[in-house]
Structure 1
Amino acid sequence: MFKLIEDLLSEAEVAELNRIADDSQFVDGRVSNPHNKAKQNLQLHDGKVIETTARMIIEALMRSEEFRNFAFPRVIAPPIITAYRPGMKYGLHPDAAFMQLGNSLMRSDISCTVFLSDPDSYDGGELQISLGEQDVKIKLSAGSVVLYPSTTLHQVLEVTRGERRVGLSFIESRIVDPENRELLYELNEVAALEGLKMDWDNYVRLQRVQMALLRRWAIGS
């Protein structure tokens, strides 16, 4: 299951992130994974710049109720802004199961792409996610985000014109099992949409089930 969230970032935030990126140095994206033959892109390299842009994106993610309700975030890897220029792509791959974060490892449950370029400003560059025998192509407006399981096979198709710029992050969820996470998300959505129409005693019983499953399935902070 994947989730699209429109307008996660405001126009002003998108403009500021792009301004910072315009004034910063990009390096070969393989600097963070030199043995990855599928990776053909650029990424920001300056630590202070990455810290500033990552903080802006994480703040936007955490203020989004849709994001919090879908991801149940426990740890969010600092997002890194990457760029794809004509001829660049990222071949088919799953994301790594664990990632180094400071002196510890985080488990990557959910991959996160935040779009920073106007989709009309570049050709190609779609995020293509494989779902069984079908492929889904995603190219969202600037400021929007897509969340998808890190286990899925996905790729970025070749950019043929312009520049595709995105922020990439990974989330360790409090709900480890993806099926449990989806079930709890759906249950919470139904409760939010229909709960107040129910008899109050039945609504309280539903809330008890929600909280019991969250306690059963969630890992600690």
Structure 2
Amino acid sequence: MFRSIPDVLTPTELAQLRAIAARASFVDGKLTAAGSPHKNNLQVGDRAIHGQVSQFIADALFRSDAFRTFAFPKTMMPPLLTRYDAGMAYGVHVDSAYMPVGDRMLRSDVSCTVFISDASDYEGGELRIRLGTSDVAIKGKAGSAILYPSSTLHQVDPVISGSRLIALTFIESRIANAEHREWLSELKQVGAIMAEKMDVETYTRLQRVEENLLRYWGDAD
């Protein structure tokens, strides 16, 4: 249901993003969640810097084969640089089903957090995703990303000390159904693992199944 992807950002890119964040102005995160009683964080307020960071992180995500074959991205919200200082948190919530992107509405199918701070730079601040009656707490390594269905209940635990710097984005997938997306992603992963062990005919038959499922379940508009 969710996927952790290591090394989405290189060490050089992380250093660049941290330098950008150090000189950026941040504003109240409630500006993008008006009326939410659960949200207590900061987001970059400078439009020029937001545009620069958004393109930077979007490029990194889209060059990741793991990202593309898990999310099957159709449209993505420009990634937003977000910071949690000591005492800040985001209570249990579900992401909005539809979000404005330019002149259209994006359906949020997959949520994505890209970790920019080192995990040792802050205490607390775990991303907590609810799966059934259990929670999975995630504190990703700097440069990694975590993807999960936007329909899940999740939260960010209070930061006890330090600052948690992340980028957050939402993806409208070509595969709207989360189970279909997971099955097709797993099929593609197995195909990639076994490709060298298959003869050409068998691999071609597997590709036929993959592409026809994508054609059947997917949305190309």
TM-score (norm 1): 0.97
Aligned residue type for 2:38: A
**Equivalent-residue separation in structure 2 for 1:204 and 1:10 (angstroms):** 34
**Equivalent-residue separation in structure 2 for 1:171 and 1:97 (angstroms):** 11
Gaps (5+ residues) in structure 1?
none
Find out whether 1:32 has 2:32 as its counterpart: yes
**Equivalent-residue separation in structure 2 for 1:36 and 1:183 (angstroms):** 34
**Equivalent-residue separation in structure 2 for 1:84 and 1:202 (angstroms):** 50
Q: Deviations over 1:146-198 (max 9, x none)?
A: 00000000000000100001000000101111111111111111111113323
**Equivalent-residue separation in structure 2 for 1:185 and 1:53 (angstroms):** 28
Aligned residue type for 1:135: D
| Residue number in structure 1 paired with 2:44 | 44
Aligned residue type for 1:24: A
CA displacement at 1:89 relative to structure 2: 0.2
| Residue number in structure 1 paired with 2:198 | 198
| Residue number in structure 2 paired with 1:90 | 90
CA displacement at 1:102 relative to structure 2: 1.4
Find out whether 1:151 has 2:151 as its counterpart: yes
| Residue number in structure 2 paired with 1:78 | 78
Indicate the RMSD between aligned Cα atoms, in angstroms: 0.9
Gaps (5+ residues) in structure 2?
none
CA displacement at 1:41 relative to structure 2: 0.3
How many pairs does the alignment contain?
Answer: 221
| Residue number in structure 2 paired with 1:2 | 2
Aligned residue type for 1:171: I
CA displacement at 1:69 relative to structure 2: 0.8
Q: Deviations over 1:122-167 (max 9, x none)?
A: 1000000000111100001111100000000000000010000100
CA contact (8 A) 1:128 1:154 kept: yes
Aligned residue type for 1:209: V
Mark the CA change 1:12 to 1:199 in structure 2 (over 3 Å): closer, same or farther: closer
| Residue number in structure 1 paired with 2:112 | 112
Aligned residue type for 2:28: D
TM-score (norm 2): 0.97
CA displacement at 1:199 relative to structure 2: 3.5
